[in-house]
Amino acid sequence: MKKIIIFSALIISIILVFNSCTTGFNNDSITLSLSLTNDDSKSYVTDIPLEFILKINLPLANNSLSGFYLEVSSDNGVVNNERYTTTSYNLGETAVATEINAQVIDSKTVKITYTPEFSGKYIFTGYYQLANNPEISSNSYEKDIIGVNNKIGDIELLTPENSKKRVLENETEFTWVIGVNENPKINLDLDLEDSVTGDIRIEKENGEQKRINEVSDHQYTLDSFESAGFYRLKVKLFDSSSEYSNIVYDTEDVIFIVSDDQNKPEIEFVRNDKNEIIEENNITVETLSDLYNVTFNILDEEDFGNSGIYSIKATVASGDSTEVVFKNEIYPYGTFNDTISLNLDTDIQNHNIKIIVEDYVGERTIENYSINIKKISSETNLEPRYLDNEILEYDYSNKVYNYEGGQDNLVNLVSEIITNKEINENHKYFFKITDRYGELIGRKDRDGNIVETFEATRLSQNSYTFSGYQLSEGYNLLNLQASIYSPETGEIFARNQDSINVFVEDITPPKIYNAIIKVEGQQFEIDPPNIGNVNYIENKVWRFEITIQDTSDIVVNTDELIAEIIDPNGNNILDNPLSYTLEGNKLIITQPNTFSNTLVKGMYEIKISRESYDGTVQIEDEYDNSIDVRQNYIIKFEVN
């Protein structure tokens, strides 16, 4: 039997204070009785409160020094020598002393509650004392045995690495999470007699059970689990003399999760400005705002078998200041993402942010970010929008706007300049948009002629929309120049610029850009599909150069470029595949080195086949755009 031997005695007092004198007191006229309200054998165990009633036969004397006491002793000596005393105890209050609390019920009755901690034989005696008069004792109430309350208190699962429990706690259950390769520990709070033994079992969600051990100690190390899933920890206590037939204590199932999560949580910086310069975790930005917001996404995505975010701690050190914690949180199991955000003071240039994220199996990610802020006095923005005013989607990774608005490729270009300087009504605004070559762009008619240039001056507002610009397929680099100025003096008050790239998906196959026929130092340019004219020069070998271009990179899928050259007599005079050089979106095709034909008068046709002999498309762009089936690249010219 597990016992703790008691060698000390306890007299714990509950003082009942009253506010009048004590004259006329006679000990012989007072009797005191002690009784136990919950007088049944099940109550005589450790950790179960015992409730006593202490009664006096006369009304309580009114004296500030009057008091009741309860003496608790064991057959081995006094339990404790502490005594609770007070001079300000009022009727109806509860006094609390070591292991005891008491309350006045009425003018003759006090209720006293005592919870034994150790097993053994106990003797309880009540006392009453008025001022300095001798104490009056009650009958002694003896309980031969206070037995052990056979029980299991807290049950914990601890991870072996750092002994920190990761636990989901809600109103109905505790759920521990451990890794599939971990050897966790079971920690038990035990209080058992020798006649009681126990059994620990682990049950998986499919009903499979495994006995771990008999209950004999406070901590057990388990073998690692072979598979992930939900498990139940069962602990039961038995009377060992009854061969496990008499259960004396049965715990609630402890549910825990074994996770095979081996992926670390992710921390992602969220861009909120297309002008942010990001090099790994170093972010540089220019702004005219007093505060600059930085946001981070925290991910531990369930789709990849992750167990979820356990904790996030984030700190910031701005300038020379010390590190400050702005996020420190523990998450319930099953939280797979969160967002943390912080506004930075732009008057301070350098900010260092540290984020530590741990998941439920202990995988940890630590990222350090350096934010460099340059505060500026003016800012210029160029923004492409669809004709319904919706902003084009911006790809921060490639720093490009993506056009997805159909085949017309039309956008409105919204230009803006902002300043934190003080301006007045006499200041005017200027905007101008140019292409990659510095040429002024504008709105075009159906024939491709510019009918309205994108330049505006002497405006009274700080933004202006240039409407109806037609984008080309591929990348469109556009540059905005903006300024605030005084028309009277010409003084520039603020000036800035912005550049954007707008991508339009390439849906057009590579086309013939031009063709040049070369004879005896002379060049004759042809603009297909128009028929070109070439001067006849007798007995001279001729050469040609054909350029095919696309807005995207061109791909040649065959080792040899198959073609025909038909002379005025209807003969194919090409005896070998064409030669070519490929430079990104430009394909330059020339005659083979063996070509030595001289010109004759009449019509020539150079035909570059769409497909090779085995049906492979010879020329296409990187998006698989090619000329239509049964079409070829045709160049015609007449020799006169």
Say yes or no to pLDDT of 355 above 80.
yes
Under CATH, which architecture does the 378-504 domain have? Sandwich (2.60)
Give the model's confidence band at 94: pLDDT under 50 very low, under 70 low, under 90 confident, else very high: very low
Say yes or no to pLDDT of 69 above 50.
yes
The pLDDT assigned to 176 comes to: 73
The pLDDT assigned to 238 comes to: 66
Give the model's confidence band at 75: pLDDT under 50 very low, under 70 low, under 90 confident, else very high: low
Residues 243-296 pLDDT 10s: 444 555 666 677 778 888 888 999 999 988 888 899 999 999 999 999 999 999
Give the model's confidence band at 563: pLDDT under 50 very low, under 70 low, under 90 confident, else very high: very high
- Give the whole-angstrom CA distance, residue 75 versus residue 552: 98
The pLDDT assigned to 557 comes to: 96
Query: Tokens representing 251?
Result: 């715990």
Q: Alpha carbon of 367 to those of 248, 298, 345, 350: distances in Å?
A: 52, 11, 21, 17
Evaluate whether 482 touches 497 at the Cβ level (below 8 Å).
yes
Q: What is the mean pLDDT of residues 377-391?
A: 94
Q: What is the mean pLDDT of residues 151-156?
A: 66
The pLDDT assigned to 72 comes to: 79
- Give the whole-angstrom CA distance, residue 549 versus residue 547: 6
Say yes or no to pLDDT of 314 above 90.
yes
Q: Which CATH class is domain 10-146?
A: mainly beta
Residues 448-479 pLDDT 10s: 889 999 999 999 999 999 999 999 998 999 99
Give the model's confidence band at 231: pLDDT under 50 very low, under 70 low, under 90 confident, else very high: confident
Give the model's confidence band at 101: pLDDT under 50 very low, under 70 low, under 90 confident, else very high: confident
Say yes or no to pLDDT of 10 above 50.
no
Evaluate whether 422 touches 414 at the Cβ level (below 8 Å).
no
Give the model's confidence band at 7: pLDDT under 50 very low, under 70 low, under 90 confident, else very high: very low
Name the one residue in this structure whose structure tokens are 């300095």: 132
Say yes or no to pLDDT of 3 above 90.
no
Q: Alpha carbon of 10 to those of 53, 73, 84, 122, 141: distances in Å?
A: 18, 6, 11, 11, 15
Q: What is the mean pLDDT of residues 503-513?
A: 93
Q: Of the given ranges (95-109, 202-216, 249-263, 578-592), which has the lowest mean pLDDT? A: 95-109
Higher pLDDT, 249 or 187: 187
Under CATH, which architecture does the 151-259 domain have? Sandwich (2.60)
Higher pLDDT, 235 or 246: 235
Ordered DSSP codes for 475-489: EEEEEEEEEEE-TTT
Give the model's confidence band at 307: pLDDT under 50 very low, under 70 low, under 90 confident, else very high: confident
Q: What share of the chain is helix, strand, coil (3-state, %, to 5)?
A: 0, 55, 45
Residues 537-561 pLDDT 10s: 999 999 999 999 998 899 999 989 9
The pLDDT assigned to 310 comes to: 87
Evaluate whether 510 touches 554 at the Cβ level (below 8 Å).
yes
The pLDDT assigned to 173 comes to: 52
- Which DSSP helix (H) or strand (E) runs through 180? none
Equal CATH topology for 151-259 and 511-639: yes
What is the rounded average pLDDT for all residues in the chain? 81
User: 3-class SS at 43?
Assistant: helix
Per-domain residue ranges of the chain: 10-146, 151-259, 266-375, 378-504, 511-639
Q: What percent of the chain shows pLDDT beyond 70?
A: 78
- The Cβ of residue 345 has, within 10 Å, a number of other Cβ atoms equal to 14
Give the model's confidence band at 81: pLDDT under 50 very low, under 70 low, under 90 confident, else very high: very low
Name the one residue in this structure whose structure tokens are 């703790």: 4
The pLDDT assigned to 164 comes to: 46
- Give the whole-angstrom CA distance, residue 33 versus residue 127: 9
Query: Tokens representing 577?
Result: 């595949």
Residues 191-229 pLDDT 10s: 666 566 667 777 776 667 677 666 666 677 777 777 777
Higher pLDDT, 599 or 108: 599
Say yes or no to pLDDT of 535 above 80.
yes
Give the model's confidence band at 427: pLDDT under 50 very low, under 70 low, under 90 confident, else very high: very high
Name the one residue in this structure whose structure tokens are 């010879």: 618
Contacts of residue 281, defined as CB under 8 A and 6 or more positions apart, other chains included, come to 269, 367, 368, 369, 370
Q: Alpha carbon of 564 to those of 9, 343, 504, 548, 612: distances in Å?
A: 118, 68, 35, 17, 12
Higher pLDDT, 257 or 564: 564
The pLDDT assigned to 334 comes to: 81
Q: Alpha carbon of 128 to those of 18, 133, 362: distances in Å?
A: 14, 10, 60
> Please, which residues bridge with residue 429 across strands?
459, 484
Say yes or no to pLDDT of 132 above 50.
yes
Say yes or no to pLDDT of 57 above 90.
no
Distance of alpha carbon 295 from the chain centroid: 11
The pLDDT assigned to 83 comes to: 36
Q: Specify the CATH number of the domain 511-639.
A: 2.60.40
* 266-375 carries CATH number 1.20.1080.10: no
